[in-house]
Amino acid sequence: MNDTKPILSVRDLAVRFGEGCDICINGGDAVLDKGHCPYCHSVWALNKVSFDLYPGEILGIVGESGSGKSTLLKALYFDMEITEGEAYISQFKEGKTNIFELSSQQKRHIRNHKMGMVYQNPIMGLRMNFSSSANVAEKLIAAGIRNAGKMTERAKYLLNHVEVPASRIKEEPRNFSGGMQQRVQISKALANNPPILLLDEVTTGLDLSVQARVLDLIKRIHQELGISMVVVSHDLSVIRMMADRTMVMLNGRIIEEGLTDQILEDPIDEYTQILVHSLL
């Protein structure tokens, strides 16, 4: 897999809350206390994060609450301003343009064509007072599609694909269960065939049986479309089931990464060992 050109490359990504000072900016982890600078009191939510995502790969990200894993996805999807860093998508401008330096219009293009996002809380990704089909249509309209017939056909196809009953596609997501709302979110995220899908704790709060059906659905979509995915979860059983490779985050940094089986069966870092033994 590493012989293949990455579809997404991220380098030295940082998100800092506060002005920062010479000590924490230049001193790095050595001076930070769990991501906090004791001198200027800045908080480093992400600190020099670098990784590659390969075509057709599912990359898992695990870590305790506050480790920076969800912040990473929000930064990549332009939901959050970054402090510094670079990211390149091979299918956008030949992978030679840092997407964080794009104009607002170009960033919208990335969101509408190159990346899809499924949030932990469906309220973040759906308009609850729109019908399910209208939610999908909204994403299509954002990408420049104006043909009502094509939008209706695409919405029906996608919602059927994620097993939303045809009788309910005109119903508002606020009337749905959590699992059904996540299915609508997934269909909306896939509306314009993005090559990259970001999934943030998509099974949190769902019953175990519903979790299993949502995960099976995501795996099936991955197999059928060959889409690259970044899956954030605190649940290592989800990561074991989904991810080819896994990154472990702590205090805004990646502290260990490797094949998922290696990370879960024979972790090297002491924190990863504690994490695996406490959650498995």
Contact call for residues 10 and 86 (beta carbons, < 8 A): yes
What pLDDT is attached to residue 278?
77
Token representation of residue 49: 């994060």
Contact call for residues 191 and 139 (beta carbons, < 8 A): yes
What pLDDT is attached to residue 207?
85
What pLDDT is attached to residue 206?
82
Token representation of residue 236: 């290592």
- pLDDT mean for each 10 residues of the chain (280 residues): 82 95 84 91 95 97 92 97 97 94 96 95 94 94 89 92 90 93 94 95 86 90 93 92 95 95 93 81
What pLDDT is attached to residue 280?
53
Residue of 28, 3, 5, 6 whose CA lies nearest to 16: 28
- Which residue carries 């649940």 as its tokens? 235
CB atoms closer than 10 angstroms to residue 97? 15
Residue 279's identity, in one-letter code, is: L
pTM for this prediction:
0.93
What residue ranges define each of the domains in the chain, with the CATH number in brackets? 8-279 (3.40.50.300)
* 3-class DSSP assignment, residue 65: coil
* 3-class DSSP assignment, residue 245: strand
CA distance 273 to 28: 24
What pLDDT is attached to residue 26?
86
Contact call for residues 162 and 189 (beta carbons, < 8 A): no
